[in-house]
Amino acid sequence: MARVDLDQISFSVGATKILQDVSLNVTNGEFLALLGPSGCGKTTTLRCIAGFVTPTSGNVRINGESVVNLRPNRRNVGLVFQDYALFPHMTVRQNIAYGLERRNISKADIDKRANEMVSIVRMEGYEKRRPNELSGGQRQRVALARALVIKPDVLLLDEPLGALDRLLREQMQIELKRIHRELEITTIIVTHDQEEALSLADRIAVMFDGRIVEIGSPSILYEQPENRDVMSFLGTSNIYAGSVIAAGKGEITVECDGFSVQARTTQVSSVGNRTYIGIRPEHIRISITPINDEPNVVHGWVETTVYKGTHLEIYVRTSADVGFLARASDASLTEAGKAAVGDPVYMTFDSNHVLVFEGEA
Amino acid sequence: MSEDRLFRYFITWLGWAAMLFLVFPVVLTVVVSFSGSQFIEFPPKSLSVDWYTNIAKINKIGEATLLSLLIAALTGLLTVAMAIPAALALARYDFPCKGAISAFLLSPVAVPMIAIGIAILQFFIWTGLPFNWLTLLVGHMVLVSAYPVRTLIASLTLSNPSLEEAAASLGASRWTVFRTVTLSQLTPGLISGFLFAFLISFDNYPISIFLVRSGLTTMPIEVFNYISQQLDPTPAAFSTIYIIIVSAIIIFAERRFGVISLSVKG
């Protein structure tokens, strides 16, 4: 258990800047997700902590002490690879004991700790099998056990669930949470899957182009992101460019292409400012009868509906050819379910739910 | 018939023809070895196993085979040992002149054996070293060194580098990583590299002929001498035994370590 600090680390290969001033403070026992599209530098950041990449500048500290000059085998870091990287020529048991055998630990203690870890990841009875005799989920558990058994200061997970199918992935997410809770180990997970980040992490750091653009709890990042790219990366969203046509106390009116919306904002804004607004699909209500008594109403026609089981997605297009995506979670009961393709509909949403990204236009 | 199918027909037949071309001499040798005739004839008119008992009549065949085995085994072991660091460097690291060094290490394959033989002969004459089994060994090592380098690079390219990183992050030093993880990943390359080196050395004639002196002699030289003086199928009998043993070794190595697929992919 430990805290991990990255102090403005940068990493370049030739003229290509892979990481730019990445700073991150992960506290004791925290579960942090590094989230971003492929190529954003999240894996490189993880490899800086593990010791496989030496930053061009900046410092990596574990428990306050700089580790940049330590080789990977001196860092006491547990690493789980996307492809698991289990040793194919060793049994499950030998894989798990590998890290213990590299330390000054008595045979009896190795046995005890390896057995304990086998039961934590629920792999009893598989000790003598080889990795190629295991399913994807089982390999994942062994990889996790192998990384955890050495009692690392920090557990690093590199897209650990990427190779699993959906159902297994969800099971493993629950497992990961359970193990994290039981062992209270500082954990950093790298993922491009926003759902995975949202469901696993205490905090998420979103990375684009080698920079961390926003850090926050899953709910803050999802509900009140400060960055437009973060909003569009985390879940689905409707984002439009517009300009401020009225600015009042904590509230502004933004004119977009063919419609205008009222939004609450804490930012000081003045008329004429260019801005972006964002609305989550689940905050848009669909009505088939005209609505006049609400501030935010946008008229359009149903373009497509997509039934998703738990919810219904309705794609609406306005007369100014602007597309909206709305999501009705109980399709059979709401009016949205009655809307057929081509029907005129009225979309309403609270000004509280309109996010404003000013100064980015 | 579509053009595509015609093409596939053509390729299939070409493949079979090539196989036949490769296998025919082997089949011919085996069949001729059981011939009852004094001369090499195909197909044989009568059958006998007399030529197998005649193998001992090849001049110095026991002594020569033993030396060939010794030289081949040492050539295999030493070149493989030398190829490991070379392959690791070429497959895992970047350094100046990497392309040139790689081409240089693999070049003996591209140079005619006779040329290598003459070059090595002149080199040893120039150094003034006595010609003995050591000079023979060095000559063979030069000849075959490219093969283990190649099979080991193939092994390394196919192995997963994150295995080594996993071992390092679990606390293994570089040497321990090599010993416990890399080496086992290299096994197919080591085995096939050794086999290539061993087999090429074992039946090499053009290099050996330049380097044998003063009573030293190898199996291929003696077999060739016999053929140039006698036309009976005794060498065919000897070759048949040789083919059976080598086939058995290769089949075992392929089953156990998958070495053929490795040398093809590499």
| CATH classification at residue B115 | 1.10.3720.10
Residue numbers of the domain that contains B252: 28-57+235-266
Say yes or no: B95 and B215 in one domain.
yes
Say yes or no: B178 and B192 in one domain.
yes
- A47, A75, A79: best mutation site toward chain B, by most B Cβ within 10 Å? A79
Say yes or no: B68 and B114 in one domain.
yes
The shortest C-alpha distance from B78 to chain A (Å) reads 25
Say yes or no: B84 and B156 in one domain.
yes
The DSSP code sequence of A173-214 is HHHHHHHHHHHT-EEEEEES-HHHHHHH-SEEEEEETTEEEE
Output the pLDDT for position B266: 38
Cβ contact A276:A315 at 8 Å:
no
Q: How far apart are CA A333 and CA A322, in angstroms?
A: 27
Output the pLDDT for position B59: 80
Q: How far apart are CA A218 and CA A228, in angstroms?
A: 16
Say yes or no: B245 and B173 in one domain.
no
Cβ contact A157:A190 at 8 Å:
yes
What pairs with residue A10 in β-bridges? A57
Q: Torsions phi, psi of B144, nearest 5? A: -100, -5
Task: Describe the strand order of the beta sheet including A65-66 as a list of residue ranges.
Answer: A16-26, A4-13, A57-62, A65-66
Say yes or no: B46 and B121 in one domain.
no
Output the pLDDT for position B37: 81
Say yes or no: B244 and B141 in one domain.
no
Q: In terms of C-beta distances under 8 Å and separation of at least 24 residues, what long-range contacts does B117-125 make, across chains too?
A: B117/B206, B117/B207, B117/B209, B117/B210, B117/B211, B118/B210, B120/B207, B120/B210, B120/B211, B121/B210, B121/B211, B124/B211
Minimal CA–CA distance to B195: which of B72, B86, B105, B113? B72
Regions in chain A scoring below 50 on pLDDT: 361
Q: How far apart are CA B118 and CA B208, in angstroms?
A: 10
Output the pLDDT for position A361: 43
Tell me if chain A has a CB within 8 Å of the CB of B168: yes
The shortest C-alpha distance from B94 to chain A (Å) reads 14
Phi-psi region of B52 (alpha: psi -120 to 50; beta: other; left: phi over 0): alpha
Residue of A nearest to B186 (CA): A89
Say yes or no: B127 and B222 in one domain.
yes
Say yes or no: B186 and B264 in one domain.
no
Q: How far apart are CA B62 and CA B222, in angstroms?
A: 10
Output the pLDDT for position A107: 92
Look up tokens 């490189």; give the residue.
A44
Tell me if chain B has a CB within 8 Å of the CB of A146: yes
| Nearest-by-Cβ selection for A150 from B171, B176, B180 | B171
- B169, B179, B183, B257: best mutation site toward chain A, by most A Cβ within 10 Å? B169
The shortest C-alpha distance from B75 to chain A (Å) reads 28
Regions in chain B scoring below 50 on pLDDT: 265-266
Output the pLDDT for position A37: 92
Q: Kindly state whether residue B112 falls inside one of the protein's structural domains.
A: yes
- The pairing of strands A251-255 and A16-26 is unpaired
Say yes or no: B92 and B40 in one domain.
no
Structure tokens at B143: 């000849």
Cβ contact A182:A159 at 8 Å:
no
Q: Kindly state whether residue B241 falls inside one of the protein's structural domains.
A: yes
How many domains, chain B?
Answer: 2
Q: Kindly state whether residue B49 falls inside one of the protein's structural domains.
A: yes
Say yes or no: B109 and B172 in one domain.
yes
